[in-house]
Amino acid sequence: MKEAEQALCGSYKEVATAKNLQRSPTMESKKKLLIDKIRQLEHQRNFQITDSTYMDFSLRWKWLNNYIEE
């Protein structure tokens, strides 16, 4: 059990070190953009479920945000 704890602790330290090395302004801004996009999509999904005017809203939202559909 003690060996497992030490191995887990060592793995955690390696991951924490790797995360700290990866942190940079560009990485943080990319993460923020990704989180914002996820929230936007979640909001649209919830809106679609509750409101019949979802398509109008969605089209206006895309136009306002210069959204390009792939």
Cα→Cα distances 40→24, 46, 50, Å: 24, 10, 16
Q: What is the pLDDT of residue 10?
A: 52
Sequence spans of domains, the chain:
25-70
In terms of pTM, does the model score above 0.85?
Answer: no
Q: Which two tokens stand for residue 68?
A: 């390009």
Cα–Cα distance, 3 to 39 (Å, whole number): 41
Mean pLDDT for each 10-residue chunk of the chain (70 residues)? Answer: 57 53 61 74 63 61 62
